[in-house]
Structure 1
Amino acid sequence: MSDPHRSTVDEADKATERQSPDVRAALPLVPSPAQRHRRGGRGFSSALRGGRVAGLDGLRTVAVMLVIVYHVEPDPLPGGSVAVDVFFTLSGFVITRLLVAEYARTGRIGLGSFYRRRWLRLVPAMLVMCAVIALLSVALPLPLLDGAWVAAGLAAASVVNLVRAGESGPYTDITAPLSHTWSLGVEEQFYLAWPLLLLVLLRQATARSVLGWVAALCVLPVLWRTVLWDPTAAHRIYNGPDTRADQLLVGALLAVVLARLRADDPRLALLRRWAGRLCWPALALLGLIAWQVPITEESRWNPVWYTVGFLAVAVLSATVVAALDLCPRSWPSRLLSVSVLAWVGRNLSYGMYLWHYPVIRLLSDLGVDGGRLLPAGIVVTVAAALASYLLVERPLLRRDRFRVRPLEPVATPARAPAA
C-alpha cells in the first residue's frame, strides 16, 4: 500500500526543510506574477502553501490498522481493503503536491533527486523485510515459508501486482507469503511514470490545461475497466497499475487544484467550506463500504465495484484529504491529529504495512489463533515497524538529507499565467 504508507509523508515540507535558511527566506509563500514567470510556476501561485498535515498522518494510522484488522478478521469487515484505496489517493495527492511545489519554486523537477528519495524511502525497508522472509524460509519448516524466497524476490522487484494480475483463476501460492505488497508495486510503478508525464504537462501547458489533462486522465482507467470487465478479469483489474491509476490520479488532481488557487481566491474558500461539510459523510460512506461491501470476493457488487467503484472511492478519499488539508480546526482533523496517531502515521505506518501480513501468518502457523491473534499481531507488527524505522529508514533518510544541496531558482521564458 501510500504511502500505503509513510511513502506519502508530507514531503513538500521536508523538501523545504532541506533548503538552507537563506534559500528558504528567499522563497516567498505566494510569489508575485513576475517571480512566477521567472521561476516557471505558470499559474501555480499557492503551490508552496502548507506543510506537514497531522490529520493526514493520523489518517494513515487508521487506514493501516483497518488493513491489519481486515487481514486477521475479514468477516466483520469484508470491505476492509478499501483502506488501500484511501492510501492510493493520499499518495497521489502528496507526491503531486511535492512535484508541483518544486516546479513552481524552481521551474523544474529534479527527477534524479525524486527517484533517489523514493528509493531510499521505500526500497531498503522492503529489501530487509524480503531478506528476513527468504532466510526464514530456509531455516524454518512452516507452511507460510514454503517457497517464500520466490515471493520475496518478486516483492523486492515490485512486480507482485503484475504476477497477480496475470492469474485469471484463484491466486496461486507463488506470492502468498507477501501478497500484500501488490499495492506497493502499483504505487512504485505510478511513481516511475507520473513525474515524467507531469513534467511534460507543466512545461507544455498552462495551469488550466494541466487541470484539464489530469482530469481527463482520471477518467481513462474507468473506461478501460469497463472494456475489460468480466468476472474472469477481476484479478487483472484489481492489481493492474493501469486499472488502478485513477485512484492515484484523483489525489494528483486535488493537489493540482489546490496549487492552482491563490490564498485569496473565493473558489478556495468555497472548496474549504464544502470539503468541511462533506468530510463526515465521506468518512461514513468509506466505513460503510468497509463494513458491507465484499470487495475481494464474488458478489453482486463486483460489476459496479470493478468499473466505477474505484473512482467513487477515490472521490470520497479525496474529499477527506481535502478537508484534513484545508480545515485543520474541524473535528475530523482534530481527532486524526492526536499526537500518537500522527506520530505513528508519519513514522511507522509504512513499516506496519510491510510487516503485518507475514507477521500475522507466521503467528498463525505457530499456533496463535482465536482472540489472541489480533492483539499479538499488532504488538509484533509495531515492534517490527519500529525496528525498521530506527535501524533502516531514519538513518538513510537523515544521511540523504545532509547530501541534498539547496535548489536554486532557474530562469525560464516569460509567459503570462493563465486566468
Structure 2
Amino acid sequence: MAKAPDSTDVTEAEREGTDTAVDARRPPAPVAPRASRGFPSAVSRTGRVGGLDGLRTLAVALVIVHHVEPEALPGGAVAVDVFFTISGFVITRLLLAEYVRRGGISLPSFYRRRWLRLVPAMLAVCAVCAVLGTTTSLWGFEGSLEAAGLSAAFLTNVVRAMESGPYSDLTAPLAHTWSLGVEEQFYFLWPLALIFLLRRFRARTVLLGTAALCVLPLLWRCVLWNPDAAHRIYNGTDTRADQLLAGALVAVALARLRADDPRLALLRTWTGRLAWPALGLLALVAWQVPVTEDLGRWTAAYYTIGFLVVAVLSATLVAALELRPETALSRLLALTPLAWVGRNLSYGVYLWHYPVVRLLASLGVQEGRLAATVVLTLLMALLSYYVIERPFLRRAHRAKAPRPTPVPATATT
C-alpha cells in the first residue's frame, strides 16, 4: 500500500533536485497562453520511471566490474554512455515541464538545484581522497590533492582530453570523475540552447533542432579523428554530447505527442519490440569490445560513428522503459531493490567505487576484491546519501525558485 507523504519524506522530485515537489505545495505560476500546445505531454511525463532507476543500478554495476575485473568486462565503460543518455532524458523532460508549467525556465534555480544535487557529495569524495593522499603512503592516492581540485571544478575530462599519449597521474586517483565533468558542462550549456530554441521556434522545430544537434558531434569526431586524438574524443563534452542529446531528443519527442496520438502508439510498439535487442547489443559491447584500447580500424569506427550507435541503442531502451512499464524488461528493472539503489545510491556508488578500488589495490587485497569493493562502496554510498545528499536535496526542495521570464506564446506552437 502506498504511504502518504509527510514532512520527513524525500519525494521523487527532491531526489532529482527539481521544483516538482515545490509545485505540489503551492499554486503554480501562471503559464503563458498556449504554452502547453507545443508540448501537451510535458507535465504528465515527469514521474519517476522504475525501469530507468533499475537501469542505473545495472549500469553502475557494470562500471564496478569493469574497474575491478577489466578482463571480464573489457567494454564495461559503455555503461557510462548509458548514464549520459539517461541524464539527457531526465534533465530535458524536467526543463520542458517547468517551461509548460511556469511559462519559462529559471536558469539560476536550475543551476542551484544541480549544484546541490551533485557538488556536496563530490566535495566529500575529493576531501577524503586528498586526506588519504597527504597523510598516508598509499600509492593509489598519490597526487590526490591536485586531482581533487580538478574533480571539484569538474575539469577532469578537460585535462584528460588534452593528453595525447598515455594518461598521466595528474587525475589518476579520481580519474572516473571525467564523466561527471562532461555531464556538468552539458548541464550548463544545454538549458541555454533549449531556452533559445523554445523562445524562437515552434515546438516541431525544437524537435528537429535537437535532432540536428545530435548529428553535430558525429561530424566533429570524424573531423578530429586520428589515433592521437582518442583521448580528446573520448573525454570531450563536445565530442560526447550526442549521447546526452539522444536522451534529450526522446524527452522532446514524447512531450510533443498527446496520449491519443497514433505516432505515440507506433513508437510504443516499436520501442517495446526493440528494447531487448538494444539491451543485448549494449551487453555485447560490454562483454566483448575493449572500447578504451587501440584496435586500429575498429577503434576508428567506434570513436566516430560508434558513440552515436550506442546513443541510439540507449535512447531506444530509455523510450521503451518510459512507454512500456508493463513489459517483462520494465518489471524486471523496476524491482524494488534495483529501483531503490538506482534512485538513491547510484550517484554515490559511482563517486565512491573508484577510490575504493584504489584503496583495496593499495592495501594489496586480491582474494575477494570484487565482493569487498561492492560491500565497501555500498556502505560509503549509503553514508553519502543519508549524511550529505539527502539533507542537501531537502534544502533544494525548500528553496523558492525565482519566477522565470515567460516565453513568448508565439514561439510555442
Give the shorter-chain TM-score range.
over 0.9
Structure 1 residues 395 and 61, CA, compared in 2 at 3 Å: closer, same or farther? same
One of 114, 138, 141 as aligned partner of 2:137: 141
Structure 2 residue 150 is the aligned partner of structure 1 residue 151: no
Structure 1 residues 179 and 49, CA, compared in 2 at 3 Å: closer, same or farther? same
Alignment of 1:257-406 (within 5 A): 257-300=253-296, 301-370=298-367, 372-404=368-400
Distance 1:416 1:118 in 2: 27
Distance 1:156 1:334 in 2: 37
Shift of 1:42: 5.0
Aligned to 2:38: 43
Distance 2:216 2:222 in 1: 10
Aligned to 2:85: 89
| Partner-residue secondary structure (3-state), 1:38 | coil
Aligned to 2:117: 121
| Partner-residue secondary structure (3-state), 1:47 | coil
| Partner-residue secondary structure (3-state), 2:410 | coil
Q: What are the superposed Cα offsets for residues 26-76 of structure 1, whole Å, 9 maximum, x if unpaired?
A: 99xxxxxxx7x6163351111011311111111000000100000000112
Aligned to 1:15: 19
Contact 1:134 1:149 in 2 (8 A): yes
1:16 maps to a residue whose letter is T
Contact 1:9 1:57 in 2 (8 A): no
Distance 1:9 1:21 in 2: 12
Which segment is superposed worse, 395-404 or 133-142?
Answer: 395-404
Distance 1:100 1:270 in 2: 23
Distance 1:127 1:39 in 2: 43
Aligned to 2:7: none
Distance 2:15 2:340 in 1: 15
Contact 2:35 2:412 in 1 (8 A): no
Q: What are the superposed Cα offsets for residues 210-249 of structure 1, whole Å, 9 maximum, x if unpaired?
A: 1111111100100000011101110000000100011001
Distance 1:83 1:273 in 2: 25
Aligned to 1:31: none
Alignment of 1:105-254 (within 5 A): 105-254=101-250
One of 62, 70, 73 as aligned partner of 1:74: 70
Contact 1:282 1:316 in 2 (8 A): yes
Structure 1 residues 103 and 39, CA, compared in 2 at 3 Å: closer, same or farther? farther
Shift of 1:17: 2.1
Distance 1:363 1:170 in 2: 23
Structure 1 residues 10 and 212, CA, compared in 2 at 3 Å: closer, same or farther? farther
Structure 1 residues 14 and 411, CA, compared in 2 at 3 Å: closer, same or farther? closer
Distance 2:142 2:48 in 1: 42
Shift of 1:274: 0.5
Unaligned runs of 5+ in 2: 1-11
| Partner-residue secondary structure (3-state), 1:23 | coil
Contact 1:91 1:251 in 2 (8 A): yes
| Partner-residue secondary structure (3-state), 1:315 | helix
Distance 1:266 1:350 in 2: 37
RMSD of aligned residue pairs (Cα, Å): 2.0
Distance 1:411 1:9 in 2: 23
1:302 maps to a residue whose letter is T
Q: What are the superposed Cα offsets for residues 85-128 of structure 1, whole Å, 9 maximum, x if unpaired?
A: 00001000000001111111111101111000000000010001
Distance 2:287 2:192 in 1: 38
Distance 2:330 2:14 in 1: 15
Q: What are the superposed Cα offsets for residues 189-212 of structure 1, whole Å, 9 maximum, x if unpaired?
A: 000111011001001000011111
| Partner-residue secondary structure (3-state), 2:33 | helix
Structure 1 residues 13 and 331, CA, compared in 2 at 3 Å: closer, same or farther? farther
Distance 1:335 1:380 in 2: 26
Contact 2:179 2:235 in 1 (8 A): yes
1:134 maps to a residue whose letter is A
Structure 1 residues 119 and 282, CA, compared in 2 at 3 Å: closer, same or farther? same
1:151 maps to a residue whose letter is A
1:147 maps to a residue whose letter is G
Distance 1:243 1:411 in 2: 32
- TM-score computed with the length of structure 2 as normaliser: 0.93
| Partner-residue secondary structure (3-state), 2:305 | helix
Contact 1:9 1:94 in 2 (8 A): no
Distance 2:230 2:313 in 1: 22
1:359 maps to a residue whose letter is V
Aligned to 1:58: 54
Distance 2:399 2:412 in 1: 34
Structure 1 residues 409 and 165, CA, compared in 2 at 3 Å: closer, same or farther? closer
Distance 1:56 1:186 in 2: 20
2:393 maps to a residue whose letter is L
2:22 maps to a residue whose letter is R
Shift of 1:21: 4.3
- TM-score computed with the length of structure 1 as normaliser: 0.91
| Partner-residue secondary structure (3-state), 1:243 | helix
1:336 maps to a residue whose letter is L
Which segment is superposed worse, 144-153 or 228-237?
Answer: 144-153
Distance 2:316 2:250 in 1: 9
Structure 1 residues 142 and 22, CA, compared in 2 at 3 Å: closer, same or farther? closer
